[in-house]
Amino acid sequence: MSLNPSRLAISRTSWGVYAIVEAALFLAANITAKNSSHPGTISNVFFLTFIAGLVLALLLGAATVIRQRRTTRQRAGR
């Protein structure tokens, strides 16, 4: 079973939106840190979501770089 590279590709616009969402999660975590009857609870949820998204972005970015290098090598005839 092989993965279709075109289905896994993320456009530059999508990366930009992804970065904005990540920044919003980080800001929400900071804003809600001391702002409730249970300080830090909501902040922890936002922060853990931010970390999970950051790890996912790093993995997708690494996969994209590896895929581009393999494609470049195949086109060069190596």
Is it the case that residue 8 has pLDDT exceeding 70? no
Please report, as a single letter, which amino acid is at residue 61.
Answer: G
pLDDT band at residue 42 using 50, 70 and 90 as cut-offs: confident
Distant-in-sequence, close-in-space partners of 3: CB < 8 Å, separation ≥ 6: none
> Of 57, 64, 29, 61, whose CA–CA distance to 45 is shortest?
29
Q: Taking the domains of the chain in order of start, what are their residue ranges?
A: 5-76
pTM of the entire predicted model: 0.74
Rounded average pLDDT over 8-22: 86
